[in-house]
Amino acid sequence: MTTIGWVRHGITDWNVARRAQGQTDVPLNDTGRAQARALAERFKHETWDAVYTSDLSRARETAETIAKAMGIPVHADERLREMACGKMEGTTEDERIRMWGEDWNEMDLGVETDESMIRRGMGAVQDICLQFPGRRVLVVSHGALISTLLPVLVPGMCEREHLHNTSVTLVRQLDEEWVCDLYNCRRHLDAVNL
């Protein structure tokens, strides 16, 4: 039975400013690095076999911090990237309203579809399960990708709470189905002043 620990990357300045990051390569800020260190400390006391990560630096640095603390390998996979946000990338909602009006979200701005994210995300999950059958693998990715993929992996999962930076969601494969054992957990941040 394979277990995947989904982790959203640490916080960035664009997260704080509420800018659509999409696939723009925005680095962690100092708080995000502290979050990653707190998460690494949490995982040091658990058993994990590998870390997979999006190739974007905010996820990759989070993953590398965790993997270094545990002495396990990191595998970068561009299929784990955030949703491509097209013309929205780098903008805040106020800026989008100024540029395109109140109905901006009904326009074709080149935003990646859920189907596209699901296709690439599920491809990555299938490959992880083939590489590490019955093992425990952390996957560091992005809020939109994880939120879109979880209900597909775990049918009937209706949690829609915003995924927090460095939150942990555990899913485990049971025969042909996945079950969710933990959702959006961030208890590791209690130990640090963030």
Residues involved in catalysis: 9, 82
CA atoms lying within 13 Å on the CB side of residue 65: 23
Q: Rounded CA gap, 132 and 142, in Å?
A: 22
Angle value at C-alpha 144, between 139 and 149, nearest 5 degrees: 60
Residues of the binding site: 8-15, 58
Do residues 191 and 41 make contact, with C-beta atoms less than 8 angstroms apart?
yes
Distances (CA, A) of 61 to 17, 23, 133, 161, 166: 20, 15, 26, 25, 12
Residues of the binding site for substrate: 8-15, 58
